[in-house]
A and B are shown apart, each in its own frame.
Chain A
Amino acid sequence: MAAAIFIVKMKDLIAVTMMLGIYGLLSASFFVAMDAVDVAFTEASVGAGISTLLMLVAVTMTARTEHPVRHKPLLALAVVFVTGSLLIYGTLDMPYFGSADAPIHQHVAPRYINDSMQEVGVPNIVTSVLASYRAFDTLGEVVVIFTAGMGVLALLLVVHRREDDEKIDSLNKSMHEKYLVLRIVAKMLIPFIMLFAFYVQFHGDFGPGGGFQAGVIFASAIFLYTMLFGMSTARRVINQSFIQLLAATGVLLYGSVGVVSLLNGKEFLDYSALSADPVSGQHLGILLIELGVGITVASVMVIIFFNFAGHTKSPQNKENKDF
């Protein structure tokens, strides 16, 4: 909470971004204390990692500090106060923290907890609910991420010109010595980060993990490479149109699993139609859709980052490209 109050008071936007990262990390540790390990993993990687990075990139492209407010925000304070007190009045009826007989624990949750092992067969109940019982919601979520990537593409698309590359290349080579330590350590670390991303992806059935976290970690390995070696080198390693194709492929994979179930005579996204034994059909279905989710999330994050970082409104911003 102290972090949040700091954010209100501070005017320097980069400091605000760092405080937001600290706030994300604090809430991730709170989630661990609340036994929500999957959520803590996602919040730590997404909220405290990627979100801070994107904000930092946006702040460097716009203003650095905030203008002071000229009028007293009395009306805003009054509205906030009234809303807050109404909400507090509303919570007086709510069940106490941690009570086991709250209505939320009575209806669907016991069925998930008790029957998940027989019906789906993966130990991680969150993964089984996310990928099997509520797979349709997860399909919607993947489409939302894809749409956000397309939106960022529509707003910030960078038209890539060949002659910029040679100028940046010579600059990069002369800076190689300056960044030697960072570049060598990054080259050693990036394979391990990618390996960890694959581990999280496929281990999501047994521990915290799954497609989203894996996609974000994989994208962060690519961000590290881009930040240290320059945009033009990164563009040559990872082709822009290939990444867009990958993003669409992830969504397509997810949807086609559902359609294959339809074609086999069952309902949409009913995995028991995928193989002879229903439980192994569930395993196969979960594996495929988590793969689709991971591919889409990783490629959309890379698309967003490349378009943010490569966005130059005029030639004078070229020297900002080699971070």
Chain B
Amino acid sequence: MNISSALFLLIGSFLCVSGGVGILRFPDFYTRMHAVGVTETLATAMILIGLMLHNPDFLVDIKLMIILVMTLFISPTASHALAKAAMHNDLAPVLGNKPDAKKVTSSNP
């Protein structure tokens, strides 16, 4: 029990750190959002599962499971809201270095 919970906690923290590295190294706002949104959700899930396995008590497990489900809903929606807000404010994504690259603009009048 302790080995598997420690394993999950380690994987979760490694994913968090890699998401942080992604924020620092990616070139553009949208790619950074993608890095954080994906890794953060999975990292939170791993950490919560690790906590559930650490001390199996039924009531605590139910509460942690509810938190997990909520996080799966909330975290990608938050990244979606941030990206939408950036699009609304005409922050154009960097689309590559080809000479005929299209410029992407928001659909606002």
Assess A/B contact in the complex (Cβ within 8 A).
yes
Interface residue A159 (Cβ < 8 Å from any Cβ of B): no
Bound CA–CA A185/B84 (angstroms): 15
* 14 A-B interface contacts by CB (under 8 A): A179-B84, A181-B77, A181-B80, A182-B77, A182-B80, A182-B81, A182-B84, A185-B73, A185-B74, A185-B77, A188-B73, A189-B70, A189-B73, A189-B74
Residues of B contacting A181 in the complex (Cβ-Cβ under 8 angstroms): 77, 80
Which chain A residues (179-195) contact chain B, with CB distance < 8 Å?
179, 181-182, 185, 188-189, 192
- Residue among B73, B74, B81, B84 facing the most chain A CB atoms (10 A cut-off): B81
Which chain A residues (108-136) contact chain B, with CB distance < 8 Å?
none
* A interface with B by C-beta (< 8 Å): 179, 181-182, 185, 188-189, 192
Residues of B contacting A179 in the complex (Cβ-Cβ under 8 angstroms): 84
Total A-B residue contacts, Cβ distance less than 8 Å: 15
Bound CA–CA A185/B81 (angstroms): 11
* B interface with A by C-beta (< 8 Å): 70, 73-74, 77, 80-81, 84
Residues of A contacting B81 in the complex (Cβ-Cβ under 8 angstroms): 182
- Nearest chain-B residue to A182 (Cβ)? B81
Bound CA–CA A224/B82 (angstroms): 15
Residues of B contacting A192 in the complex (Cβ-Cβ under 8 angstroms): 70
Bound CA–CA A179/B88 (angstroms): 11
- Nearest chain-A residue to B74 (Cβ)? A189
Residues of A contacting B77 in the complex (Cβ-Cβ under 8 angstroms): 181-182, 185
Bound CA–CA A303/B84 (angstroms): 28
Expressed in whole angstroms, the minimum distance between the Cβ of B51 and any Cβ of chain A is: 15
- Nearest chain-B residue to A193 (Cβ)? B70
Expressed in whole angstroms, the minimum distance between the Cβ of B77 and any Cβ of chain A is: 5
Given A181-B80, A182-B84, 4 additional A-B pairs, CB 8 A: A179-B84, A182-B80, A185-B74, A185-B77
Bound CA–CA A189/B74 (angstroms): 8
Residues of B contacting A185 in the complex (Cβ-Cβ under 8 angstroms): 73-74, 77
Expressed in whole angstroms, the minimum distance between the Cβ of A264 and any Cβ of chain B is: 38
Residues of A contacting B73 in the complex (Cβ-Cβ under 8 angstroms): 185, 188-189
Bound CA–CA A188/B70 (angstroms): 10
Bound CA–CA A129/B7 (angstroms): 41
Bound CA–CA A182/B81 (angstroms): 7
Expressed in whole angstroms, the minimum distance between the Cβ of A197 and any Cβ of chain B is: 14
Expressed in whole angstroms, the minimum distance between the Cβ of B84 and any Cβ of chain A is: 7
Bound CA–CA A261/B77 (angstroms): 49
Bound CA–CA A188/B84 (angstroms): 20
Bound CA–CA A192/B67 (angstroms): 11
Expressed in whole angstroms, the minimum distance between the Cβ of A42 and any Cβ of chain B is: 19
Residues of B contacting A189 in the complex (Cβ-Cβ under 8 angstroms): 70, 73-74
Q: Nearest 8 pairs between A and B by C-beta?
A: A185-B77, A181-B80, A182-B81, A185-B73, A189-B73, A182-B77, A192-B70, A181-B77
Bound CA–CA A188/B74 (angstroms): 10
Residues of A contacting B74 in the complex (Cβ-Cβ under 8 angstroms): 185, 189
Expressed in whole angstroms, the minimum distance between the Cβ of A64 and any Cβ of chain B is: 13
